[in-house]
Amino acid sequence: MLRPLAKALPLLFTFFAVVQAPAAVAQSEKELQKLERSLVSKREQQQQNSTRLKQLNKQLSEAEKNLERVETQMLRVFDLAEKDASAENVKAATDTAVLYNRANDRVQTLVSERDQLKAVEAKLAVELPVLDQQYRSMMANYRSGAKTTVKKSSASKASKAMVSGQWPYLNEGSQEQIQWASSRLAGLVGQKALGNQGKAPLKKVELVAKESFGKVEMDYLGDKLYTVKVKVKAGHQLFELFNKEHWHSIPKEDDGELYRFVFDVNSLSQPKLFVFKEALIEE
């Protein structure tokens, strides 16, 4: 009686492993989504923190100038009250002292808030790379697990192959890069037209180029890629995007030409910005 049971045990273990594998993959997917939400949340917090810090620095500069002005006025009024302690001069000295205290309190409040935000900024600078590494590792494990339980479709294989290419740069690109970029964008645009781009990982993405076109909002295509087409000015300039600075030198001959910007947020702690002339993929 034991021998048939012994033969059946490996089959039972195999059955339970097959049944439980999809559940394990589903659990991994939930954990992956939770970690991704955390990354997005912290990235948005970092952006808000950076924006507020810029505002605070401006406000603090103005507050310090005002404090200096009030202090100069107070010293002058105090000096006058010492020489002539009339009721009018004493009142003026008292009033300027009140103004000085208010101005000083304003500076101290702003300094305190700035220091708190700097501490948050430093904390996020440490946490984000760690979370991103965890996300990459979990994503690799998830894909590995999914491969053992789900048969890859030809469309999925094609999509994976499409992701492995390289974008052109500025007004140069190999034939392979140009063909890949053109096909990649066409595929994403087609999927978006069908409503298959999925949920955008970031609510709003704005590209800032103060020396060129100002500020523009990028469009989400899918596969964690954002894009925008805009006319640029020639020269070495700064492009700011989600607290990251990207320096590029637009060729002189491309002044006023239409350029495409592609923002890749597959790594939320290390997003990438690709810049190239739109005419490259339209030819």
* 236 pLDDT more than 70: yes
Higher pLDDT, 178 or 37: 178
Q: How many other C-beta atoms lie within 10 A of the C-beta of residue 228?
A: 17
pLDDT tens-digit readout, 192-231: 788 777 888 888 888 888 878 888 888 898 888 899 999 9
What is the average pLDDT across 248-268?
Answer: 87
pTM value is 0.45
What is the average pLDDT across 71-96?
Answer: 87
17 contacts: CB under 8 Å, gap ≥ 6: none
* 162 pLDDT more than 50: no
What is the average pLDDT across 164-186?
Answer: 81
> Distance between CA atoms of 147 and 232, rounded to whole angstroms?
44
Cβ–Cβ < 8 Å for 65, 88: no
pLDDT tens-digit readout, 102-149: 999 999 999 988 888 888 888 877 777 777 777 677 767 766 665 444
Q: What is the pLDDT of residue 13?
A: 44
> Distance between CA atoms of 240 and 138, rounded to whole angstroms?
30
